[in-house]
Chains A and B, each alone.
Chain A
Amino acid sequence: MMTTFNQHKQRLGGVLAQYRQGFNFWSLMPLLAVVLFAVFLIYPLVRMFTESLAGTDSDVLGVYVELFTKAYYFESLINSFLISITVTLMAGLVGVALSYFVYRFNVPGKIAIRAAVVLTLVSPPFIGAYSWILLFGANGILRKALVAGGLDFPSIVGVPGMLVVLTLQGLPFVFLMTSSALSSVDQSVEDGSINLGRTRTSTFFRAILPQLRGGISTGMLLVFVTAFSDFGTPAVIGKNVRVFPTLVYNSYINEAQGADFSQAASFSVVLLVVCIGALLLQRSYAKRHAYGVSAVTPLAPMELHGIKRILVIAAVYGVILIAVLPLITVIVTSFLKTEFQRFTWNFTLDGYTTDATLLPALGNTLLFTTIATVTCTLAGAIIGYVIARRKTRLGSTIDLLSMVPYAVAGVVFGIAFSMGFGSSPFFLAGTGLILVMAYFMRRLPYSIRSISSLLGQLGTSAEEASVNLGVPPSQTFWRITVPMIVPAIVSGALLTWATVIREFNATAILYGSSTATMTIQVFSNVSYGRYENASAMGTILIVVSLIPVVILMKVFGKDDKILV
């Protein structure tokens, strides 16, 4: 009798203690995170979906049926699939090789290489597209030189151009993911394989590569999603190949449709379904190939000599050169005069001085990017921390939700946000706020994941040690947890900054009269043939995106890992 009473009292005490601990900042966070996703992700997507069913056609599913029955639409879906899969494979191949070469061999200038890779991540793909036209188009400088030299080199405009540009655009994702996967492979695995009689090559394919599958597939997923949903690149270099994202975008802005967005919404839903499908496939694949190992002794760099070394260096720098060639082109042409929309070899600063939209666009870009980066980094750190450390019932829900934006293409984001927040009851169409919101939600998963996976690796013992030494959990967070994750926060912020600055697909749908960003103006300059202005603005965009990278390098020293 007595004992049961005491047990009751204890149990009650326990519950009370949990309740008391339970209602604080941290227990509110999971809830807030779910609300955040519900409002900024689920709501607009659902609204887009309902809109897609609310067509003026009598048959609500008509648009979907049309998509699969009408060759004009269906072909673009097939085209997009073919192109994206090719691009994904090419980026995978080149990205893995590049990453392995740089990680493994004595290639000089590794920091510069990593910086170059991040840089290519920064520039909007259609800048690359039009640079490629300048270089290898029918009238391209380099193509003409090659032709003059007797090499019959076809114009790059069209499918080859799209493949090149989209592959280069995807390269950094694969590169970065592979690099980080490589860092968890232990040297002893390679030694073990060689010791068992395998050659180095066989060892790479049979023992090392299989362990990278999770990381590589994540990178390739990102390539696929961007390639499948980019309409800026086909718009500039596409030529006669209809691709699905262009269809989505055009259906949104179609003159013939009037104010009926059901087609745009339906197409977006299809795009979303394809990307989510890719995401689910990749997740289950990565899960099957997750080995939960971490390297005690990471793979040691290998000294190559002679011809092998030269070949590897040539391959690496060849790829890097191709990747930065568009950037160089942009910078050079920004100082060239255009006449009749063609560059001449006359120096001018007109590109920088004649465009009235340059300063406002720069201001907008800096403002939105900064706000989005700061909020995204903060929220990402907090939510990532909550997922990793505060075991809550909402944890798996948040985890799942934070996955979705990976698969939501920029166009779809734009359309969903425009439908969700553009008009009543929010009236945010064209405002800076709606842009920042979209940027925030697109990048949030990246921030969350980088923090939660780092914390998972670090383990809890340092934090427990702090609590054990009498420092309450709230202070422990600031004094132990935060300092330990600062490097990850910083490099995550850097990546957010770089990718938000170049955002185009969602921005194109959401921007308004006073909120045009640099990428929008570059695109409009390219479309109107104001190439010197486009190049000048592109150059400024490149410089601006580089600033934080440079600052970080100064602050954190020349640790090349900061760029990953």
Chain B
Amino acid sequence: GEPASGETLVIYSTESTMPEFAERFQSETGIELQVVSVSSGQSDARVAAEKDNPQTDVAISGSSPADSNPELYRAYEGSIDVSNVDERWIKGEYAIPTILNPVIFGYNTEVLDGRAAPSSWEELGDEQWRGEVSIADPTQSGSAFNALAAVYAAGGWPLVEKFAQNVVIAQSSLGPIQAISNGEAAIGIGAEASVYQVADGEDIVAGYPTDGIVVNVGMFYLVENSSNPESADAFMNWMLSSDTQTWMQGEHKGMRSTTTDSETPDTLQDLSTLDLIEVPADVLADKAAFLDEWTTILTSVN
């Protein structure tokens, strides 16, 4: 059937701003969007656990869940219009690239207390930051994983080892940002948008590493056998529309569009000026082994 106003759509979302999208979506289409705030891992776990009786229509995840469990998701081909999406971000037939989030770091100038702010991953390996770099658990958080991958790309295992000596592992993706916000850490690693949620430009400042930035692509997935496939499609098309993407970039500093036809405000450094890199191929080849090595290093250094 057609998407109907009055229907209720469910999304497992990792985006803290999703409730505002939901509000906007409902006012424009009359379809209610229920947001369940979860992490990528939770989202994957739930979709898997609910496979016989899906509870959600759309899921956001940063961990490519359809690679290992394609049967849980529905290919978007044919139902979603991705013609305006920049080719660079398209990865397979399940993941719908919707939001871009470069993984950077923020720092608290008060805590820096006069010390020069770091400008690269390389510098984060410097001894002076011992115990002052907050990062989420790379085994749990997509952005932390991407940051770690960037560190690895910048300096290989030797740099990872030095980096490991400096970090404090926070217990959630937003933990590092909150840690710099409340002064618990000097430097916090996280997605650009989350850094800008606390960065007031005075005490808290966003920093862009010059030796490689991995972009978190906010991948949306359609869940197989969900109750409202039509509304889900409508929602995704709405999300990718230039209107929505323009509004998103204007409203939420740091949330960047994957599309080519939306307006980007000039308050942010242009994406093209950033030194974007891909997650190194050897990391992608065996993610588990990479993380294993990381946890081994981490346990050995503290």
* Interface residues in B, total, Cβ within 8 A: 64
Verify A423–B204 contact, CB threshold 8 A. Answer: no
Verify B36–A72 contact, CB threshold 8 A. Answer: no
Instruction: Kindly report which residue of chain A lies nearest to residue B200, judged by CB atoms.
Output: A340
Is B218 at the interface (CB under 8 A from chain A)?
A: no
Given contacts A239-B168, A255-B140, whether A529 and B34 have CB atoms under 8 Å apart is no
Find A340's partner among B40, B51, B174, B198 (CB 8 Å cutoff): B198
What secondary structure prevails in chain B residues at the interface with A?
mixed
Find B288's partner among A238, A256, A511 (CB 8 Å cutoff): A256
Is B85 at the interface (CB under 8 A from chain A)?
A: no
Is B241 at the interface (CB under 8 A from chain A)?
A: no
Verify A256–B63 contact, CB threshold 8 A. Answer: yes
Is A356 at the interface (CB under 8 A from chain B)?
A: yes
Which A-B residue pairs are the 5 nearest by beta carbons?
A259-B48, A255-B63, A138-B183, A253-B41, A427-B53
Verify A512–B36 contact, CB threshold 8 A. Answer: yes
What secondary structure prevails in chain A residues at the interface with B?
loop
Is B117 at the interface (CB under 8 A from chain A)?
A: no
When chains A and B are docked, how far (Å) is the Cα of A103 from the Cα of B171? 40
Shortest beta-carbon distance from A279 to chain B in Å: 28
Verify A356–B23 contact, CB threshold 8 A. Answer: yes
**Contact code string A61-74 (vs B, CB < 8 Å = 1, else 0):** 00000000011100
Shortest beta-carbon distance from A427 to chain B in Å: 4
Find A430's partner among B23, B45, B55, B197 (CB 8 Å cutoff): B55
Verify B182–A342 contact, CB threshold 8 A. Answer: yes
Verify B19–A342 contact, CB threshold 8 A. Answer: no
Given contacts A255-B63, A256-B287, A258-B48, whether A341 and B178 have CB atoms under 8 Å apart is yes
Find B52's partner among A71, A75, A423 (CB 8 Å cutoff): A423
Verify A527–B174 contact, CB threshold 8 A. Answer: yes
Find A429's partner among B53, B179, B181 (CB 8 Å cutoff): B53
Shortest beta-carbon distance from A410 to chain B in Å: 16
Among the listed stretches B64-72, B91-99, B256-264, which one makes contact with chain A, having 4 or more residues with CB under 8 Å of it? B64-72
Verify B69–A259 contact, CB threshold 8 A. Answer: yes
Is B37 at the interface (CB under 8 A from chain A)?
A: yes
**Contact code string A528-557 (vs B, CB < 8 Å = 1, else 0):** 111000000000000000000000000000
Given contacts A259-B72, A529-B197, whether A253 and B44 have CB atoms under 8 Å apart is yes
Find A342's partner among B53, B179, B181 (CB 8 Å cutoff): B181
When chains A and B are docked, how far (Å) is the Cα of A137 from the Cα of B146? 28
Is A6 at the interface (CB under 8 A from chain B)?
A: no
When chains A and B are docked, how far (Å) is the Cα of A320 from the Cα of B87? 61
Find B204's partner among A340, A527, A530 (CB 8 Å cutoff): A340
Is B269 at the interface (CB under 8 A from chain A)?
A: no
Verify B49–A256 contact, CB threshold 8 A. Answer: no
When chains A and B are docked, how far (Å) is the Cα of A516 from the Cα of B46? 14
Shortest beta-carbon distance from B265 to chain A in Å: 19
When chains A and B are docked, how far (Å) is the Cα of A430 from the Cα of B226? 14
Verify B50–A422 contact, CB threshold 8 A. Answer: yes
Instruction: Kindly report which residue of chain A lies nearest to residue B296, judged by CB atoms.
Output: A72
When chains A and B are docked, how far (Å) is the Cα of A514 from the Cα of B48? 18
Interface residues in A38-89 by Cβ distance below 8 A to B read 70-72, 75
Verify A528–B174 contact, CB threshold 8 A. Answer: yes
When chains A and B are docked, how far (Å) is the Cα of A246 from the Cα of B140? 11
Residues from chain A with Cβ under 8 Å of B181 in the complex: 340-342, 529
When chains A and B are docked, how far (Å) is the Cα of A252 from the Cα of B296? 21
Residues from chain A with Cβ under 8 Å of B183 in the complex: 137-139, 155
Instruction: Kindly report which residue of chain A lies nearest to residue B302, judged by CB atoms.
Output: A240
Find B299's partner among A75, A134, A528 (CB 8 Å cutoff): A75
Interface residues in A226-261 by Cβ distance below 8 A to B read 234-236, 238-240, 242, 246, 250, 252-256, 258-259, 261
Verify B16–A528 contact, CB threshold 8 A. Answer: yes
Residues from chain B with Cβ under 8 Å of A422 in the complex: 49-50
